[in-house]
Chain A
Amino acid sequence: MIRLESITKVFPGQEKPAVDHLSMDIPEGEIIILVGPSGCGKSTTMRLINRLIEPTEGRIVLQGEDVTGVNSDELRRRMGYVIQQIGLFPHQTIADNIATVPRMLGWDKKRTAERVDELLATVGMDPGIYRERYPKELSGGQRQRVGVARAMAADPPILLMDEPFGAIDPITRDRLQNEFLRLQADIKKTIVFVTHDIDEAIKMGDRIAILQEGSRIAQYDTPARILTNPANEFVEQFIGHGASLKGLTLAHVSEVELADWPVAQGELDRRALRDLLVRSDKSAVLVLDEGRRPVKWLTLRDLDSRGSLDEVGLSADRSVVEPNATLHDALDLMITSYTGTVIVTEGDGSYKGVIELDAIRHRVDEIRRAAVERMRKEPGAAPADELVR
């Protein structure tokens, strides 16, 4: 998809190259993370791809076409571009912002307007409300969504993202990351994503390139292999402590076996619920609404209470995950969940099952064993695999 061949950038007046003979292949439809300490040249590398910075040496090959010498403005219109500051034009409406590239490509008004509405809906913003607003009227998270929508406006096959979630509070960042991963599952773009945060890299990346000074590749591999099999001391140090906890962000709720839980729906009958609870040896019954969405937990004490059953119980909102959530998220909720379990729902919010701690432990064990197995098969697995040339 994108091939960098011995790309080098020496900035005028500097002796050391910012990017030193970097060669890498970026496969189609994957999220490739460039991660490394400050000043390692990761942002420069990304800007070399769309030639915001012109390389001193080397070639950039895009879908088999050498684009090192083509018109750089036209080249950039073929790639979406998202930066940390997002850079929405404050004097243009959200619709005008998103329409930037379609306008340059000469789309007609109708097609552009339809595309704007479609994209706003894709990033979860109501076009009717937000189309005519100005950037200053949006929250940080909303601006970020518009930034992504703007980058995807002309449906480019490639997205370049430079710390896109860097300036957002941790809670919103987490939500945006999840949304973005869900979106990527549909759109399957080739994404080059720059970050300095290894946790974000592990969560978002199909492959991670850990870069050292001069944009030299320390390891270019899948997150699982980087975590279980760091190529050298630099990578090990960069990953830092808690590799196994980080590994939990690689496994998803959909991979573990769900357990059954006593549930109740519709008309609530105290005696039936009591029987159900006692037979199940669990601490609470989960009440579902008519759409089978989890509502609340009812304990024995709740069932014995005098008041109406509508008024007692503990809300189940805080212990619900979707199948695409990571085990890290699930464990996090589990620790604070009232019953020590997490409820898994389908995309439409309906109840699917619960996860208990043992299921997570079991899955971690499996992952570890698989990694050990792989290492035994490829003794001294080199950091450079077929992708680093």
Chain B
Amino acid sequence: MAISGAPAPTAPDVPQAKTAVGRAEAARGVRYLFTPIMLALLGLVLYLWVKSLELDSIEQRTLNSEFISKKLWEHVKLAALSTVLVVSIAVSLGIVLTRPGARRIVPVAMGITNIGQAIPSIGLLVLLGITLGIGFGYAVLALVVYSILPVLRNTMVGLQQVDRSLIEAGRGMGMTKGAVLRQIELPLAVPVILAGIRTALIINVGTATLATFTGAGGFGDLINNGLRLGRDNVMIVGAALTALLALTIDWIASVAEDLLRPKGL
């Protein structure tokens, strides 16, 4: 070997790498397809089962496609709007709280958001209902308060786990603080933040069933109706639809996580 000789060119082992990637992609394809097929099958089973029942007039009033689509739409609106709000509030707050100047208010902010999650969800909804009022808006507010913690915590953890040397390198090359945040910190925190958002979504889909008690609609109406009127079938359909919706959204979120994860990690 010659001293100070040119570096030996590394032979790229392309074919090997390609097959490994190919295999991983195939595995992911199976995973992507398996869940929706299962969910579609479960939905079909539920539909056929309801079809096979002889419904009385009370059951017919709720177990029809018009009523169910209306409740589905209400439920999705509750979960989606609250999640959008949670994301915009918690991610911004998370960014602010991880800036060097904000170290002192971190425990306070975390304490407050912790209270949000520590209160039982039904208690929170009812409390807000009594003190502020009932209806869609207040139900969304309750969901926001209840699910802000996972997103906030994951945003902070995601930003804090970014290697300090990357920030130092970026700053050292003349990137502004904002550019470091946008181009380095946030992209690298995306996987952790997305995991938090996914948790918040699932919490919101589940907790939104309780919104029926403050008159905000959703699948909770089916469950509540079934319960009050002694119609088990209605209750079962409501619960099963909520579960199906939660699983569907979780699947969508998992696909989004894969697509949005930065390459090269």
Contacts and interface: CB of A to CB of B under 8 A. Distances in A.
A205 to B, nearest CB: 17
A105 B168 CA distance: 19
A87 B163 contact: yes
A141 interface: yes
Interface of A: 50, 52, 73-78, 80-81, 83-93, 100-101, 104, 124-126, 129, 134-136, 139, 141-142, 145, 150-151, 160, 175, 178-179, 182, 317-318, 320-322, 324-325, 329-330, 333, 345, 349
Contacts of B262: 90-91
B17 to A, nearest CB: 9
B165 A85 contact: yes
Given A76-B174, A101-B173, A87 B264 contact: no
Return the 10 tightest CB-CB contacts between A and B, nearest first.
Answer: A87-B169, A134-B264, A77-B174, A76-B174, A81-B172, A178-B4, A91-B262, A85-B165, A87-B165, A320-B2
A74 B179 CA distance: 13
Contacts of B171: 52, 76
A101 B264 contact: no
B265 A91 contact: yes
A87 B168 contact: yes
Contact of A73 (B10, B175, B188, B265): B175
B172 A124 contact: no
A101 B171 CA distance: 11
A330 B4 CA distance: 11
B169 A349 contact: no
Given A77-B173, A90-B264, A92-B264, A83 B2 contact: no
Contacts of B179: 104
B170 interface: yes
Contacts of B3: 178, 320-322, 325, 329-330, 333
A101 B183 CA distance: 13
11 contacts: A50-B172, A52-B172, A73-B176, A74-B174, A78-B174, A80-B173, A87-B170, A89-B184, A91-B264, A101-B174, A141-B7
A139 B9 CA distance: 12
B123 interface: no
Nearest to B166: A87
A330 B179 CA distance: 48
Interface in B166-203: 166, 168-176, 179, 183-184, 187-188
Given A178-B4, A325-B4, A349-B2, A83 B172 contact: yes
B172 A89 contact: no
B66 to A, nearest CB: 47
B2 A104 contact: no
Given A83-B168, A90-B264, A179 B173 contact: no
B6 interface: yes
Interface string B33-50: 000000000000000000
A150 B175 CA distance: 13
